[in-house]
Copies of this chain bind each other. A is one copy, B any other.
C-alpha cells in the first residue's frame, strides 16, 4: 500500500506556515507498514486541488489531505471534494453534535459559520474531530482511499490516530523497520570515515542515512521486507557492530531526546538537577521541563543574564568576573556551584557564552561558550567554539551542556 500526502493552503506556498503535518503523518503511516511516496503542497485553488488529486490517484492507493476545512471563506476543500466525488453537501447530525459540544465546553453559542461545518459531502463517512469543529472525511473510489482532515495539527492528529489508522490497520503486508542511532560530538564526514567498512558490509535490504542537526548526527537504518523477525535481527546485528566503531558518540536511539534521557537517569538514581544559564537564556530549563513529570528531579533555574544577578543570586565572586570575565571557565564553574548550593540539588549545569551577533572580542569571538557541571564529585568546565549565528549557538550550547551532563550523571552512578 502506497500513500501520498497533499497539504492544502496558500499559507504554505507563501511561506507563512511550515508544513509540520506531513512529517508527523508519514511517521504514523510508516509504523503501519504504509510507505509515503510523495508529499505535495498546493494552494487553496479548486483547479489545483482537482489536478493534484488526479495525479496522486495514478501513483498511490491512499491519499491523505489536510487543510482548507476551516469555517472561513478562504477554505474550499470541502466544496472541491464534492465536485471530485460528484456528490453534494448534506447536514450531518453527528458532526453538528460535535460542534455543539465544543461550543458548550467553551460556554458560548454556536455561530452560523460553525453550524455550516456540520454540512458534509453525502458520499463520505464522517470522521469525528474530538479537538475541533471541522469533521474529517473518508471517501472510497475505484479501490482507492481518500481522507480529508483539518490543517490544525492538533485536530488532524487526533483524527488520524483515533479514526484513520484503525481503519487502515492490516491493509498493508509490508514491514518497514527503522532504527535511528543518535550521536553527538562528531561531524558527519568523520563519522562516515570511521564507519565506512561497516556501512559497505550492511545487507542490501538495509539502507543507511545520515541526518545532521545542530551539534548532532543521527544515523538511520531502514529495512524493508515481509519477515519482521529477520529484519529485526539484521538491524540489531548492524547496530551491535557499530558500537565498537562509534560507541563513544552514541547517546540514544530513535525518538529519544537529551531531556528525556537525562530525566530517566536522574529518576533512576533519585538525584536532582538545577541550571544556571546566561547565554542560553532559559532554553535548557525549557527543554528539561518539556518532559512530563520533570518536577520529580528538576528544581529550578536561575537565568542570570546580567552580571549583577550572577553575583547577587548565584554568588559568583566580583573578583572572578573582573579577572576572567563572564565568559570563562571560572565564572561558569562558580555559577554551577552557586546554583547547586542555592537550589540544593545533586547536579547543576551552567552555561556562559557569547551568543551573538554582537559582543565578540579579539580574544573571545562570538560563539565562545563555557559549560560547567557541578556534581557530588566536583566541578568540571569545558570550552566550546560554536559559530556566528545566535539561535544556532544557543541551540548547540544547550545540546552540548545536556550531553556533558549526561556523561557526568553516568560517571557518578556507574563509576566503571
CA distance A362 to B106 in the complex (A): 18
Q: Is A333 an interface residue (CB 8 A)?
A: no
Interface size range on A against B: 35 or more
Known: A10-B207, A17-B211. A72 touches B188 (CB 8 A): yes
Picked from B10, B26, B212, the residue with its CB within 8 Å of the CB of A209 is B10
Please tell me if A113 contacts chain B, counting CB pairs below 8 Å: yes
Select A38's contact among B23, B40, B189, B298, beta carbons within 8 Å.
Answer: B40
Tell me the chain A residues, 86-107 only, with Cβ under 8 Å from chain B.
106
A166 to chain B, nearest CB (A): 19
Measured CA separation A313–B12 after assembly (Å): 45
Interface residues of A in 273-331 (CB under 8 A from B): 275, 277, 280-286, 288-290, 292-295, 298-306, 308-309, 312-313
Interface residue? A244 (CB, 8 A): no
Question: Could you tell me if B20 and A18 are in contact, using CB atoms closer than 8 angstroms?
Answer: yes
Against B, the Cβ 8 Å flags (1 = close, 0 = not) of A378-403 are 00000000000111101000000000
Q: How far is the CA of A212 from the CA of B208 in the complex (A)?
A: 38
- Once the chains bind, are B295 and A300 in contact (CB under 8 Å)? no
Complex-state Cα separation, A35 to B303, whole angstroms: 43
Does A357 have its Cβ within 8 Å of any Cβ on chain B?
yes
Q: Which residues of B contact A192 (CB under 8 A)?
A: 71-72, 111, 113
A121 CB-CB contact with B under 8 Å: no
Q: Give every chain B residue within 8 A of A106 (Cβ-Cβ).
A: 187
Name the distance in Å between A149's Cβ and chain B's nearest Cβ.
15
**Cβ contact within 8 Å between B295 and A305:** yes
Question: Closest CB of chain B to A123's CB: distance in Å?
Answer: 27
**B282/A303 in contact, CB under 8 A:** yes
- Any B CB within 8 A of the CB of A199: yes
Nearest CB in chain B: distance from A15 CB, A = 3
Complex Cα distance, B280 from A398, in Å, reads: 17
Q: Nearest CB to that of A40 among chain B residues?
A: B40
Chain B residues within an 8 Å CB radius of A29: 15
Shortest Cβ gap from A56 to chain B (Å): 11
Contact (A16, B27) CB under 8 Å given A70-B188, A282-B282, A301-B301: yes
* Interface residues in A3-41 (C-beta closer than 8 Å to B): 10-20, 22-30, 35-41
A193 to B24, CA, bound (A): 32
Query: Is A74 in contact with chain B by the CB < 8 A criterion?
Result: yes
Contact across chains for B309 and A10 when beta carbons are under 8 A apart: no
**Residue contact A211 to B73, C-beta cutoff 8 Å:** no
Which of B40, B189, B281 contacts A286 (CB under 8 A)?
B281
Q: Mind listing 16 A-B residue pairs with CB under 8 Å?
A: A12-B23, A12-B39, A13-B26, A14-B220, A18-B18, A18-B20, A111-B190, A281-B289, A281-B298, A289-B394, A298-B305, A299-B306, A300-B313, A301-B301, A302-B302, A312-B342
15 new A-B contacts at CB < 8 Å, known A15-B26, A300-B313? A12-B23, A13-B37, A16-B27, A18-B22, A19-B22, A38-B48, A71-B192, A72-B192, A74-B208, A280-B286, A282-B286, A292-B390, A293-B358, A300-B309, A312-B342
